Structure 1
């Protein structure tokens, strides 16, 4: 499959206090090291007593994830690489202590990143600024999946980041009560991507497409599943 040929989930390493412990109201952090693991879709999902704002930024050795839990309890952190393969140690369980009230159901947050190939050589020179600046306004999106979806059927859309500079594509979909269970992002070459997802409940959805930390033109998209 495109985007998976050189990806090896077994080479990915995840570490940091945020994978095992934390305090409510305080930022929790962990690193997913993709050095020598090839390029592929990196999907991080957090299920727990409160919904968290899951953020990601690229660092020298891979990607740094941060989240702030607002209720105490156990948070399950699932990290998959190359689509469906768990990285070593996944899923992780973070025990969060402190004050706060848990939701009556489990809340889920997810970030999917199309990674770039990192090696020990690229890590050594990662402190130098990129030659090409990122410009989310130059990203173009197309496809029916941006405006509508059919219940329990795959919906698709395309993202063209040609000329938008060097950054990460991040896609997220918020449903009426839970996010989509799975979002697939595939790099098909030349900074062009195909994205697919399946909605499993009726109601209003919000689809977010970001290039780095900036929304692309048109994002967030809103649609309804009947």
Structure 2
């Protein structure tokens, strides 16, 4: 099965939890996860060195927004999206197309400014790309963009439709919604391929048991039960 494992929200305050997820996924037989890095934070030189170390160990680095926080909502749809799905992290939804493109360019440039490898993948916070026509994605430097629908390669226009599992459930309603979505996506995974998106607090939230069960079940390097 074609599987992509990613760890979201890589920023200074989450590095300890990210490190723990890296250790546990490697222990379960996973290859290095893609790390989704949020640039606009108070990164110290030591923390940048940690990103460089993870990159050297084989973890691809990807862009993940700029602030990962919304200062002002962009209308009723953004407020509804925040209440049901994204809370206050879907920063793209507060911007127009030009603002989104500027954010993506700024995100990409940050990696070079820190002496980090240039990322090829961009994942908007909460997978919400916002009001940006697909045809305008050629105006930004990332080679591919991941949304809820899958991973779009900009040059070819090809979209890789993979099922998606997530576990960021901090209340009963989100837990129910994610359990329902995850159940459907597990069934589709065999034919579509699979994405597993981890967030730093997931191991302490309501779907922690599901998380570890899935990481064991889908591990590419653990023997499967008969």
Superposition TM-score, scaled by structure 1 size? 0.27
| Bigger fraction of residues in strand | 1
Structure (1/2) with the larger helix percentage? 2
Higher RCO structure (Cα 8 Å, ≥6 apart): 2
